[in-house]
Amino acid sequence: MCEVITMGEPMTLFAASDIMPLEESSKFIKFLSGAEVNVAIGLSRLNHKVSYITQLKDDAMGIYIYNCLKKENIDTSYIRFVNQYFNGIQIKERVAKGDPRVINIRKNSASANIDKNIIKDINFKNVKWIHITGIPLGISQKFRETIIEFVKTAKKLGIKVCLDPNLRTHLWESNDKMIEVINSFAKLADIIIPGINEGYILTGMNEPEKIADFYLNIGVQQVIIKLGEKGSYIKEKDKQYIVDGFKVKNVIDTVGAGDGFAVGVLSGLLEGLSLKESVLRGNAIGAIQVMSLGDNDGLPTREELHKFMSKLEG
C-alpha cells in the first residue's frame, strides 16, 4: 500500500550536455522529467511508497518512461497505455548560471487526454498525502477535471493534499485563467508551497506574510513560501517563522529544486518530523538538486541526505 499518490505528465527530457545556446547544441543526454515524477522519485529514494497516475502512448518513449519509474520502485499500477496521441518531450539548454531555456512538446499528449474513469481504479487505503502541482491543471481541461475529481475523492477520505503551484504560463490561455484556477484549487489544499515570485503572481502581494494570509484565509492550513538561498517562510494559523536555506557554490541546473523541496517536506511529515524540521530537509534536498544536470538525478537516498545534513551540522 502506498503512502503518497501523485498525478501528472511524465516526459522524456533531452538535456544539452554542453554550456552553450540551445540553438547551437548538438549533444544531448536523455532523462525522465516531470515535476510530479521528480517528487515520486525523491520520495521513493527515501524509502517511501509512492503511486504515480498518468496516461502514456504505447510506444518506445512510453515504455522508456514506464521502465524508468519501475526502476525507481514507484508503483505503476495506475499507469494507462493508449494507442493514440503521443508522449511529451522536453529539450533543455545547459547554462553556466540562472534558469535554462526549455522547449516543451506536449500539446494534446496522451497525458493531456486522461479522463475521470481512471479514478475508480485507485485504492486510497493507507494513503496519507496527495501531491499535486499546477502543471496538469494547465495542460488541458480534461486533465484539470480529472485532477479535481481525484483530489475531491481523496479529501472525502480524510487524505491531506499538498499543492505546489509550479506556474507554467505557456500552458494557460491567459495569466488570469491560471490565477483563477490555481487559487480556486488551493481551497482543497492542506499545504501550499509557492515560490515567492509565484506568490506575487497569484496574489499580487510581495510580502511573504501577506501571501500566506491570502491562502490561510481561503482554508489552507499551512503556507510555506520558498525564498531561494534565504530559506523558507512558514505561516500557520497561530505562528510564523523562517527556516534558513543552504548556499550552493556549484550550481549546475536549477530545474527540479522546488520538487526536491516538496520531497523533503512530505517525507519529513510522513516520518513524524515537525513542520520546521521537514522544511529544513526540503531546503537541503533543494540545494542538493541544483548540483546535478538531470531534473531528478540529484535526488538523494536516505544515506546521501544524512551525509549532506551531517556535514552542515558538523
Per residue, the 3-state secondary structure of 6-57, as one string, reads EECCCEEEEEECCCECHHHCCCEEEEEECHHHHHHHHHHHCCCCEEEEEEEE
Q: Which amino acid, 283?
A: N
Residue % of the chain over a pLDDT of 90: 85
Q: Annotated catalytic sites, by residue?
A: 259
pLDDT digits 0-9 by tens, 118-128: 999 999 999 99
User: What pLDDT, on a 0 to 100 scale, did the predictor assign at position 314?
Assistant: 44
Q: What angle do CA 288, 246, 253 make, to 5 degrees?
A: 40
Which pTM was predicted?
0.93
Distance CA 196, CA 117 (A): 36
Q: Per residue in 246-285, pLDDT tens?
A: 877 777 767 678 899 999 999 999 999 999 999 999 999 9
**Exposed, middle or buried, 247 (CB in 10 Å: 0-12/13-18/19+)?**
exposed
In this prediction, residue 247 carries a pLDDT of 79
pLDDT at 312 over 90: no
**Residue 99 pLDDT class (50, 70, 90 cuts):** confident
Contacting residues for 101 by C-beta, under 8 A, at least 6 apart: 22, 92, 93, 95
Q: Tell whether the model's pLDDT for residue 235 goes beyond 60.
A: yes
Distance, in Å, from the CA atom of 245 to the CA atom of 250, rounded to the nearest integer, reads 15
Left, alpha or beta for 162 (phi > 0: left; psi -120 to 50: alpha)? beta
Q: Which domains does the chain have, with CATH numbers?
A: 4-313 (3.40.1190.20)
